[in-house]
Amino acid sequence: MNFRIPILKLRDTLIVSIQWELDDQTALQFQEDLLAKLHETSARGVVIDLTSIDFIDSFIAKVLGDVISMSSLMGARVVITGIQPAVAITLIELGIRLEDVMTALDLENGLDKLQLELEA
């Protein structure tokens, strides 16, 4: 059974809190859903909260990197929050750099960072 990841809109920001380990199909559906929501709402920012994710495999890491790049191409700034140590290690080991992506320890700090960036 596939679950859809909820994507919430708050002002000009989309908020995504991933609450469970992703399988390949759910990750691809999330990618499609987020890009569609960006197009539909013209949101200027995206916060993706990974606090509940303890590890990711190579495919999920690639999809996450792609989602970030695609969001940027659509004009949205992205903040990743709550990255666990194992997830950070996996991303770096796989060469997914996230150089132009802001990060924060938690969702609240991520929203604050994004708001400051969008106001600049």
Task: Please state, in angstroms and as integers, the Cα–Cα distance from residue 101 to each residue in 25, 26, 40, 48, 67, following that order.
Answer: 24, 23, 22, 11, 12
User: CATH number, domain at 32?
Assistant: 3.30.750.24
H or E, element range at 114:
helix 107-119
pTM for the complete prediction?
A: 0.92
**Residue 43 burial by CB count (10 A; 0-12/13-18/19+): exposed, middle or buried?**
buried
pLDDT for the residue 1? 53
**What's the number of domains the chain is made of?**
1
pLDDT for the residue 5? 93
What letter does residue 42 receive in the DSSP assignment?
A: -
pLDDT in tens, the chain (120 residues): 567 899 999 999 999 999 988 899 999 999 999 999 999 999 999 999 999 999 899 899 899 999 999 999 999 999 999 999 999 998 899 888 877 789 999 999 999 999 999 987
Note down the domain range covering 85: 5-117
User: Beta 102-104 vs 77-81: how paired, if at all?
Assistant: parallel
pLDDT for the residue 2? 64
